[in-house]
Amino acid sequence: MDYSGLAPGLLVEAEGPLRIVTMNRPDELNSFDDALHVGMRRVWDLLVDDEDARAVVLTGAGRVFSAGGHVPNFVRNHHDQAARRRDIREGERLARAMLACELPVVAAVNGPAVGLGCSLATMSDFVVMAEGAFMSDPHVAIGLVAGDGGAVTWPWLTSMLTAKEFLLLGDRIPAADALRAGLCNRVVPAGEVLRTAKEFALRFAALPAQSVRDTKRALNMHLLDSANSVLNFALAAEFESFGTEDIKTRVAEFLAKDKGKGKDKAGAAKSDGSGS
């Protein structure tokens, strides 16, 4: 299977029965520009069609899993309804494609997973987090409706009250708290995240292929039913929220703060995230 044309910022490497999918924009905290968004949506169908693939490891290059949405796109989407519509449609297609992927997906969360990055982690089938990593979905905090997956998956992974707390407040969820809340499966030292994720992926890969794939499909029918119930409204509401003064003001404040820090992007990871 040829994965080379997906996106400049998306790498897919074969390691025996595993496919290692890496968000590879480390200088931009693996945030999602248009190309990466489309590539991440397309990769799931290719993985299913890859006859030699048995499991997937999803990770980020550098010290961050993914900071989510690319902030300049927020500014664009406030003014450009055509671009906003395209991004929202891509968000829906990405979520559905990932949830429909039959291969077991292990997320190796090597650093902060924010916004869309957080959604990708929690739409995976097994999540390994670094001890110093955190999850956060700050859509609401920056003036957006959480439309890209959190409202679909989180109530299935943790309690509804906990999902509301995390999605409405957008607070950082340290790895240890994510484990207690049911948002990840294992927490390991940073240097062991990818190795541990591959070990579990190999365990999935060693199982009878049809059995593991169709059991995953059966389980994910709950999430796809949830997507059918929630996703259209949530994304339509996110589309509307992109046009508000709240997002315009919050993004301007973020960009001014970021510029004042000399673009200290590590410190920006909490705020830099969206499902679009």
Helix (H) or strand (E) holding 206: none
- Structural domain includes residue 251: no
- Structural domain includes residue 13: yes
- The pLDDT, as a whole number, for residue 266 is 39
pLDDT over 60 at 4, yes or no: yes
Strands 126-130 and 105-109: parallel
- Structural domain includes residue 116: yes
Phi, psi of 129 (to 5 degrees): -115, 145
Phi, psi of 217 (to 5 degrees): -60, -45
Helix (H) or strand (E) holding 179: helix 175-181
State the pLDDT confidence band at 257, using cuts at 50, 70 and 90: confident
- Structural domain includes residue 54: yes
- Structural domain includes residue 267: no
pLDDT over 80 at 58, yes or no: yes
pLDDT tens digit string along 136-182?
A: 999 999 999 998 789 999 999 999 999 999 999 999 999 999 999 99
Average pLDDT, the chain: 92
- Structural domain includes residue 231: yes
Rounded CA separation 185/138 (Å): 22
pLDDT over 60 at 273, yes or no: no
- Structural domain includes residue 107: yes
Q: Classify residue 69 as left (phi > 0), alpha (psi -120 to 50) or beta.
A: beta
> Which CATH number do you get for residue 50?
3.90.226.10
Structural domain count, the chain? 1
Rounded CA separation 231/155 (Å): 13
Return the residue matching tokens 């409405």: 168
Domain that holds residue 114: 4-243
- Structural domain includes residue 268: no
Its pTM surpasses 0.95: no
Q: What is the mean pLDDT of residues 62-71?
A: 94
Please choose, from the candidates 148, 171, 194, 161, the residue with its C-alpha nearest in 3D space to the C-alpha of residue 37: 148
**Distance (Å) of CA 193 to CA 59, 118, 185:** 9, 16, 12
The residues, ordered by sequence, that sit 6+ positions from 103 with a Cβ below 8 Å of its Cβ are 19, 47, 48, 53, 54, 55, 56, 213, 216
